[in-house]
Structure 1
Amino acid sequence: MKAIEQASAAVDRVCLTLAKLALGAMVVTVLLQIWARYGFDFPFTWTEELARYLMIWAGLLGATCAFKRKLDPRVVTPKETGSATLRWTRLGISALAIGIFLLPVLYYSFYGPNMNFERGFLWRSSNRFSPGLGVNMALVGSVVPLSCGIILLHLLAQITERKQR
């Protein structure tokens, strides 16, 4: 097993653990909100916001795990049979489609128009704080480029794994 495949597997284990923790924390937070709202007639102001942010993290980290396991939604699921050329063509088309989608997301996470760092998504988010929790919104939004990078790591591992066959 190559280093890139080991790194992909290790990152996948961490992502799966974090996604599970975020999902569990989201459930507990929503239950706390329900309990406070209907049990005490005094809802907390921060629970709905925390549940929303945990849902974002759980969803995007879970998406990386689904991609690693090839369980992500697909328009066409190609068979793994066929000639080596056909398999490489399928992988190339898949990699191209993933790159077309993820590379602009990564670029605009850090840079805005004219490669202006201050107009990038994360920089603009760092100037805002959530109203209920007071959390810097760049912390919440940082999962977007993180998950894109992880998916690209998993794609690279798929390519190197395919080369060994």
Structure 2
Amino acid sequence: MRRIEQVSAGLDRVCLALAKAGLIGIAVVILLQVGARYGMRSPYAWTEEMARYLMVWSGLLGATCAFRRGLDPVIVAVTPASGRGRKMLARAMLVLAVAIFLLPVLHYSVFGPGWNIERGFLWRGMGRTSPGLGLNMALVGAVIPITCLVILIHCAARVTGPVAHARGAAE
């Protein structure tokens, strides 16, 4: 197994574990909220916010796992019987689609207009805190560039992998 595939597999294991933990966390927090609301008639103020942030993190980290498994929409479908040209076209379209979508998101997560870091999404989030938990919003929003980087690594592993690794073929 090549190094990029090893890195992709390792990141996938971590993202999947964190996504699962986040889903379990959502269930626990919601159960706590329901219990406090109807059992003690005194709901906690932070539970809804915590569940929302866990949902965002779990969803985006889960999306990286889905991408690695080839569960993303395709522009050019391939099968094991597809010719080499079609497989190369599918890989090129995958790279193009991922780059068009993720590179601007990654760029504006860090930089704002005029390459100004202070106007970037994360920097602006560092100056804000969430109302219920008091979390720094940059911590909450950090999942966006993390997701972009992980998907870019998965894309590199998919594109540079063997032809059998193309969508439609067994992994």
TM-score class, shorter:
over 0.9
Instruction: Report the alpha carbon displacement of residue 84 of structure 1 after superposing the two structures with TM.
Output: 0.9
The residue type paired with residue 40 of structure 1 is: M
Q: Which runs of 5+ in 1 are unaligned?
A: none
What percent of counterpart residues are identical?
Answer: 54
1:93 corresponds in structure 2 to: 93
Query: Displacement of 1:52 after TM fit?
Result: 0.4
**Residue 79 of structure 1: how far off its partner (Å):** 2.4
Matches within 5 A, 1:13-92: 13-72=13-72, 74=73, 78-80=77-79, 81-92=81-92
Show structure 2 runs of 5+ residues with no match: 166-171
| Alpha-carbon distance in 2 for matches of 1:38, 1:63 | 34
For the residues of structure 2 that align with 1:76 and 1:122, how far apart are their CA atoms?
Answer: 32
Post-superposition offset of 1:38: 1.1
RMSD value, Cα: 1.5
Contact persistence 2:110–2:117 (CA under 8 A): yes
| Partner residue, 1:103 | 103
Equivalent-residue separation in structure 1 for 2:98 and 2:9 (angstroms): 19
Give 1:70 shift: 1.0
- Could you report, residue by residue, the CA deviation over 1:99-145 in whole angstroms, capped at 9, with x for unpaired residues? 10000000000000000100000000010001111110000000000
Which stretch of structure 1 is more off in the superposition, 81-90 or 119-128? 81-90
Q: TM-score, normalised by structure 2?
A: 0.92
Question: Size of the alignment, in residue pairs?
Answer: 164
Aligned counterparts of 1:153 and 1:75: Cα–Cα separation in 2: 18
Q: Deviations over 1:19-76 (max 9, x none)?
A: 000110011001100111111110000000000000000000000000000123x165
Alpha-carbon distance in structure 2 between the residues aligned to 1:38 and 1:161: 53
Amino acid paired to 1:98: V
Task: State the Cα distance separating 1:164 from its structure 2 match.
Answer: 8.6
Report the secondary structure of 1:79's partner residue: coil
Tell me the equivalent position of 1:123: 123
Match of 2:169 in 1: none
TM-score by length of 1: 0.95
Deviation at 1:162, TM superposition (A): 3.2
Query: Separation in 1 of the partners of 2:156 and 2:74?
Result: 21
Task: Write out the 4+ residue segments of structure 1 that deviate beyond 6 Å after TM superposition.
Answer: none
